[in-house]
Amino acid sequence: MASVADMFDVTWEEMRDKLRKWRDENNRNSEQIVDVGEELINDYASKLGDDIWIIYEQVMIAALDLSRDNLAMQCLHELRKQFPGSHRVKRLTGMRFESLERYEDANKMYDGILQEDPTNTAARKRKIAILKALGKTTEAIRELNEYLEQFVGDQEAWHELAELYINEHDYAKAAFCLEELMMTNPHNHLYCQHYAEVKYTQGGLENLEISRKYFSQALKLNNRNMRALFGLYMAASHTASNPKANAKIKKDNMRYATWAALQINKAYQLAGRGKKENKNSLKVVEDMLEALQITQS
């Protein structure tokens, strides 16, 4: 089988830089990481200098995603030799146990880390991940809440807690978690979009109006967010048809919904002229506009 370097005519330096870029972007494209990383550690390890250790870790995590236990163990073996007793390497050992569904062994590993370092956030979050994997959602929620009392600035934990509440249909608490995220990162359009979706799901006139405002904010932050554009259309059109809305609210939201539908129509026209699937999508958008016109009349 041809090597990655030969197939794509790239140097080992370019392969190393690609792995670094994926790390910086927190991109977990495991198949590509394994393809590039396995070749690097097997053929160019002596040229990588200190970069080899972070690459071993990156490749190991990707190998676990793909159930490549032999490759994961190869990386783990090298890391253990270089960093004996390291909490980070112990955590990777625990993650391997998790991938093999040896959850008791994984928990013992994380407990050992926490006994030596009670502030080790990575080990605590892995224990919560195990509860989630075992379907113990209530316990996972309790542990995450206790964790966030100590580490209130952990955005990843707030997002995970929001997802757990959504899975439990506790939308009010999920909305609270997303509000915390928006306070710390008000320019993240995905947080605004996610919050808008939760408020839309809660329903009721007040929540629908909040939903429409945050879909609008998500669009303001990223005008290419099609999910937010569709959300704006849905929230505005449902607000306009809500019997509890007064005449002004209905008129304003009909205008917002019409604008959103027109923007969706334009986007589909630009995205794929002549393609059959896009013609079908355009028909759906045209039906949306027609429905709005009927409602207005």
Q: Is 162 exposed, middle or buried (0-12, 13-18, 19+ CB in 10 A)?
A: buried
Between CA 293 and CA 297 the distance in angstroms is 6
- Report the predicted TM-score, pTM, of the whole model to 2 decimal places: 0.84
Consecutive 10-residue averages of pLDDT for the chain (297 residues)? 66 94 92 95 94 97 96 97 96 97 97 96 96 96 96 95 97 97 96 98 96 97 95 95 94 94 86 58 62 51
Per DSSP, 235 falls in state H
End-to-end CA distance of the chain: 66
CA-only gyration radius of the chain, Å: 25
The CA-based dihedral angle spanning residues 276, 228, 166, 159, taken in that order and rounded to the nearest 10 degrees? 120
Q: Specify the 3-state DSSP secondary structure of 50.
A: coil
Q: 168: closest CA among 132, 128, 200?
A: 132
For residue 48, give both structure tokens.
């990588």
Q: Say what the pLDDT of residue 297 is.
A: 43
Q: What is the pLDDT of residue 154?
A: 95
Residues 6+ away with beta carbon under 8 Å from 282: 265, 268, 269
Q: Cα–Cα distance between 110 and 47 in angstroms, integer? A: 34
Q: Say what the pLDDT of residue 283 is.
A: 65
User: 182 CB contacts (<8 Å, ≥6 apart)?
Assistant: 188, 191, 192, 195
Residue 294: CB atoms within 10 A of its CB come to: 8
Contacts 24+ apart (CB under 8 A), 87-94: 87/113, 87/116, 87/117, 87/120, 87/123, 88/57, 88/122, 91/122, 91/123, 91/126, 92/57, 92/60, 92/61, 94/123, 94/126
